[in-house]
Amino acid sequence: MKNISLFAWLLLLATGCSTSGVAIPLGANTYPPTSADSVVILAEPPTRPFADVALVDGTAATDDYFTQERTQAAALKAMREKAAQLGAHAIIITDKGSRPYGGPLWEKLQISGKAIRYTDASE
C-alpha cells in the first residue's frame, strides 16, 4: 500500500506541475503569426484601434518556479506564445487569481486576458 501511495503522489506531481497556455479564437479573421517577445501585456484597453483576436489564459504553479514573480512570468509567457501564434500584438489582462495547489506553500496562478491586434497603419 505504501508503494501505491508513493506512486500516486509522484504521478500527481509529474502531471500536475505544468505551465500551460490556452487560446480561444474570436471571429473568423486570421492573421499571420507575430513574435511572442513582441506581444505587449496591457492592464487596460489601448487608445489605438484594435480587433479582438482571442481569449487567452496562462497557468503556472509555484512548485515549478518557486516564487510568485517567476510563476507569473511563466504564465504570461505561455499566454504570449498562444497569442502570437494567432497574430496578436498585445494582451489586455482581464483576470488574475490563484488557488492552493499540492501543499501549503504552493499555489497555481491563472491569468486571463484578451489578445488583440492593432488595426491602424502603424502596426
CATH code at 99? 3.30.110.70
In a domain, 9, yes or no: no
Please give the DSSP secondary-structure letter assigned to residue 78: H
**Up-side HSE of residue 74: CA atoms within 13 Å toward CB?**
20
- For residue range 9-46, list pLDDT tens digits in order: 433 444 455 788 999 999 899 999 999 999 999 999 99
List pLDDT tens digits, range 94-110. 999 988 877 777 888 99
Report which DSSP code applies to 61: E
pLDDT at 121 (0 to 100): 67
Does the pTM surpass 0.75? The reply is: yes
What number of other Cβ atoms are within 10 A of residue 59's Cβ? 20
Residue 46 pLDDT: 97
Q: Does residue 86 lie in a domain region? A: yes
What gap in Å lies between CA 87 and CA 30, rounded to an integer?
8
Indicate the average pLDDT of the chain.
85
Asked if residue 44 belongs to a domain, the reply is: yes
* Structural domain for 23, as ranges: 18-118
85 belongs to a structural domain: yes
Q: How confident is the model at residue 63 (pLDDT cuts 50, 70, 90)?
A: confident
Q: What is the pLDDT of residue 123?
A: 55
Whole-angstrom distance, CA of residue 52 vs CA of residue 31: 11
The DSSP string of 15-57 is HHS--EEEEEE-SS-------GGGPEEESS--SS-EEEEEEEE
Question: Which amino acid appears at position 15 of this protein?
Answer: T
In the prediction, which pLDDT does 1 show?
A: 43
